[in-house]
Amino acid sequence: MTTTPPWGPDTGWAHGAAIIGADGHQVSADATISNGPDAFAILGLHDTSAPQTRDRIRAAVLNSGLSWPARSITVRLLPASLPKHGSGLDLAIAVAVLTAAGAIPAGAADRCVFVAELGLDGSLRPVRGVLPAVLAAARAGCTRAVVAPQNAAEAVLVPGLAVVPCPSLRAVLAWLRPEPFPGQPGTLAAPIAAPAPRAPVVSSLAGLGAAPRVRRALETSAAGGHHLCLTGPHDAAIPALAGGLAAQLPPLDPDEAMQVTAVHSAAGLLGSGHALITRPPQRSPHHTATRAAILGGGSGMTRPGEAALAHRGVLLLADAPEFARDVLRALRQPLQDGEITVARSGSTVRFPAKFILVAGMAPCPCGARPRCSCSPLQARRYRARLTAELGHHISLWLHVARFGSAAARRQKPGAGADDTSAARVVVARDRARHRLHGTPWQVNNDIPGAELRRSYQPTAEAFAPIRRAVDLGEISERAAHQIIRVAWTLADLAGEARPGAEECGQALAFHLGVADADAKRAGRALAQR
């Protein structure tokens, strides 16, 4: 909780915030001015950042028309064990020093957090991670936040917090004293109005001529959170299909929206005027992306990678076999746990990363072009680059035709087909949420294998072909769990209380990547062996 320390002569303090991963942590800046040579020391800041921070703060104070104390100044940032990087603590340190010097009344900065970088001319510059920073300050008891005007739109998203956008250090002092300041609005301390939410970007499956089976697979993936692989030639519009999947996902609830927005804020992707992210995000990294770009990393403050930025949305790996093996292998952790752990010297950073993976893959290395000369062995080796690393996590395997082909042109979905699919997904998710109420799981893909066997096993008749396939070694036990999860989602989409033979057969067809009729024949053949 925010506390007010005892005030003494030549001492001052102010609250700031540090960002670790996508989480904010409150930091207290305690300043002391004592007799001695002119010196300025900052304790608790990263060694490489301290000299630059000292120079910025001193220049900002002098260029704001204020006098700099020609004495020994020591600032201690608490807690000392918390890693602190970046320039977001500039304003808090400056307020603490000016309070110790008597330029700011004692107690004026009580229950207020200061998050901004100082320019050499005394202006306040925006920083990334303002939303998680003020969230942490609000949890610690702060009721006011001073930020740069460009960060006000995201800071105001925190309920119960008065946001004060200030353009300069001189304006901050005028607000804290308080005193008239030319050109400064009289309502500076009042919270600003939140801007309107972003308009979602919708990709139409109807315009792509998606086959009914493709649409059904995308609905199943969106409703149950199942990962899928789309196999097709280089011009099969797989990115557009992934966009259609993201468009079918329901809007984020308030907690999810705040979490997703905080991750994007920590990455510095919330520009001036951007409001709460209410639609599931979609990320499409290039196949040359490094492991750090996918998982997160960087020197100093660790930034979230593409997997964390896709949290509660869709992560598309177009040309998935082209990604480096260590990148594909590293995705196993978020697919399994829903979060990413990045270990650095002195700190361990965790990012939320619960997303739907869409892996795009061509049948062969050349992309199945008209004059393909790839051998069957080359095609198998190419596909094995993905299946060997992430195949166990993918529940739906689907072949899609090239965009504009005769098969695609024959598909004529009815009017409002996309809206109907999105509505079916919302209803199916509500059914699953009601069934899983009181458990830590939200969608069918979250249910662990042990719980599937104990509480969510299909009827013996419906499960017989799947059980027989496991006994014969056609599929693994883990694959059987994936099929059961998909069967439950298909039952939710159909309004059934429990998956039957039809849902289990359809789920087996999706896993085997074959047509429904072929899957039924295969299931009957397996059951008769």
Please name each of the domains of the chain with its CATH number.
11-176 (3.30.230.10), 205-413 (3.40.50.300), 447-529 (no CATH)
For residue 188, name the pLDDT band (cuts at 50, 70, 90): very low
Q: Which residue has the higher pLDDT, 212 or 9?
A: 212
- Among 265, 236, 372, 351, CA closest to 304: 351
Residue 77 β-bridge partners: 29
- Among 163, 221, 166, 247, CA closest to 419: 247
Q: What is the SS3 assignment for 240? A: helix
Q: How many CB atoms neighbour CB 297 within 10 A?
A: 16
- Among 517, 463, 516, 451, CA closest to 487: 463
For residue 371, name the pLDDT band (cuts at 50, 70, 90): confident
Helix H or strand E segment including 112 = strand 112-115
What pairing do the DSSP bridges indicate for beta strands 356-361 and 396-399?
unpaired
Residue 366 β-bridge partners: none
The answer, as to whether pTM is greater than 0.85, is yes
Two structure tokens written together for 527: 């059951």
Residues 207, 243: contact at Cβ < 8 Å? no
Two structure tokens written together for 359: 């892996």
**What is the residue-wise DSSP string for 195-219?**
PPPPPP----HHHHT--HHHHHHHH
> Per-residue pLDDT tens for 428-444?
999 999 999 999 999 99
CA–chain centroid gap for 2, Å, is: 29
Q: Which residues contact 187 (CB under 8 A, 6 or more apart)?
A: none
**What is the residue-wise DSSP string for 262-314?**
HHHHHTT---TT-----S--EE---TT--HHHHHEE-SSSPEE-HHHHTTTSE
Write the CA distances from 68 to 33, 61, 100, 101, 176, integer angstroms. Answer: 11, 7, 11, 8, 18
**What integer pLDDT is reported at residue 28 of this predicted model?**
95
Average pLDDT over residues 308-315: 96
> Per-residue pLDDT tens for 217-242?
999 999 999 999 999 888 788 999 99
For residue 404, name the pLDDT band (cuts at 50, 70, 90): low
Supply the mean pLDDT for the chain.
86
pLDDT reading at 144 higher than 60 = yes
- Using only C-alpha atoms, what is the Rg of the chain? 28
Helix and strand numbers (H, E) in the chain are 21, 18
Rounded CA separation 189/191 (Å) = 7
For residue 2, name the pLDDT band (cuts at 50, 70, 90): low
For residue 38, name the pLDDT band (cuts at 50, 70, 90): confident
Average pLDDT over residues 87-92: 94
CA angle 44-49-51, nearest 5°?
Answer: 95
Write the CA distances from 511 to 169, 245, 334, integer angstroms. Answer: 61, 18, 21
> Per-residue pLDDT tens for 416-432?
677 888 999 999 999 99
Q: Quick one: DSSP state of residue 75?
A: E
Residues 27, 84: contact at Cβ < 8 Å? yes
Q: Which residues contact 49 (CB under 8 A, 6 or more apart)?
A: 84, 85, 86, 87, 300
Average pLDDT over residues 83-87: 85
Two structure tokens written together for 476: 């693994």
**What integer pLDDT is reported at residue 419 of this predicted model?**
83
